Homo-oligomer: A and B are copies of this chain.
Amino acid sequence: MRPEQLELYLVTDRGLSLGRSILDVVCEAVRGGVTMVQLREKECSSREFLELAVALKERLSGTGVPLVINDRVDIALASGADGVHVGQSDLPCDIVRRLLGPDRIVGLSVESVEDAMKANDCDVDYIGVSPVFSTPTKTDTAPALGYEGLRAVAGLSRHPAVGIGGINAGNAAEIIRCGADGIAVVSAIMSAPDPYAAAAGLAASVRTAVEARK
């Protein structure tokens, strides 16, 4: 995985797609500039999760955009996805690495400076710094880190970092200025009236901020 693939990271949520097909929303968003996709399904059956992962992997074929599966290593292995993202209540990242092998992507959510320090001892490809701001998308999250918390985590992490939680076109550039390599969004794209345009706008903001940092 190249760090620039973290620039605009879309995390799916079928409850926020305004009744549209997840596949269609994701594909529009990828056309607009999404650089990585995480399929996150907490309610559906394993069979349905797998079928969606296989279909999404197929649709992403040739785009260069990696597909990462939330939590379920078995779904990732069965679908041929590019990796797995785990949170602090999911399988430990050393076990995920062992099951996936050295070549696939392993991402880990960190919710504090302490988590980020522990993550420095783990063989992960990136960390998701969560939540930067409080958000209605996830209700089981840790306290919001804010720009200060994000800056502290990004400063001490040896891994590329992506901010997640309450990120939108209005604050995307500031997330990059805090030291993150990219932004992860859910509703800013999944719930956008035009996911293509929303992704294009976010991608441009992030790209400009990344370039300005060089």
Interface assignment of A92: CB less than 8 Å from any CB of chain B: yes
- Asked if A46 and B71 make an inter-chain contact with CB atoms under 8 angstroms apart, the answer reads yes
Interface assignment of A91: CB less than 8 Å from any CB of chain B: yes
> Per a CB cutoff under 8 Å, which of B46, B73, B90, B95 touches A89?
B46
Residues from chain B with a CB closer than 8 A to the CB of A75 are 91
Interface assignment of A125: CB less than 8 Å from any CB of chain B: no
Interface assignment of A145: CB less than 8 Å from any CB of chain B: no
User: CA separation between A72 and B78, bound complex, in Å?
Assistant: 12
User: CA separation between A61 and B48, bound complex, in Å?
Assistant: 35
Interface assignment of A152: CB less than 8 Å from any CB of chain B: no
A contact patch SS? helix
- Asked if A91 and B71 make an inter-chain contact with CB atoms under 8 angstroms apart, the answer reads no
Residue of B nearest to A89 (CB): B45
Q: Which of A95-152 contact B (CB under 8 A)?
A: 95, 99
Interface assignment of A213: CB less than 8 Å from any CB of chain B: no
Interface assignment of A214: CB less than 8 Å from any CB of chain B: no
As a 0/1 sequence over residues 50 to 67 of chain A, the CB contacts with chain B under 8 angstroms (1 = contact) are 100000000000000000
Q: Indicate the member of A45, A48, A86, A88 with the most B CB atoms within 10 Å.
A: A45
- Asked if B71 and A73 make an inter-chain contact with CB atoms under 8 angstroms apart, the answer reads no
> Per a CB cutoff under 8 Å, which of B45, B91, B99 touches A47?
B91
Residues from chain B with a CB closer than 8 A to the CB of A16 are none
Residues from chain B with a CB closer than 8 A to the CB of A74 are 72-74, 77, 91, 99
Residues of chain A at the chain B interface (Cβ within 8 Å)? 45-48, 50, 71-75, 77-78, 86, 88-92, 95, 99
Question: Can you pick out 25 interface pairs between chain A and chain B where the beta carbons lie within 8 Å of each other?
Answer: A45-B90, A46-B71, A46-B72, A46-B86, A46-B89, A46-B91, A47-B88, A47-B89, A47-B90, A47-B91, A47-B92, A48-B89, A50-B91, A50-B92, A72-B74, A73-B74, A73-B78, A74-B74, A74-B77, A74-B91, A74-B99, A77-B99, A78-B91, A78-B95, A78-B99
A-B complex: 10 closest residue pairs judged by Cβ atoms: A73-B74, A45-B89, A74-B74, A46-B90, A78-B95, A47-B89, A46-B91, A46-B71, A77-B99, A50-B91
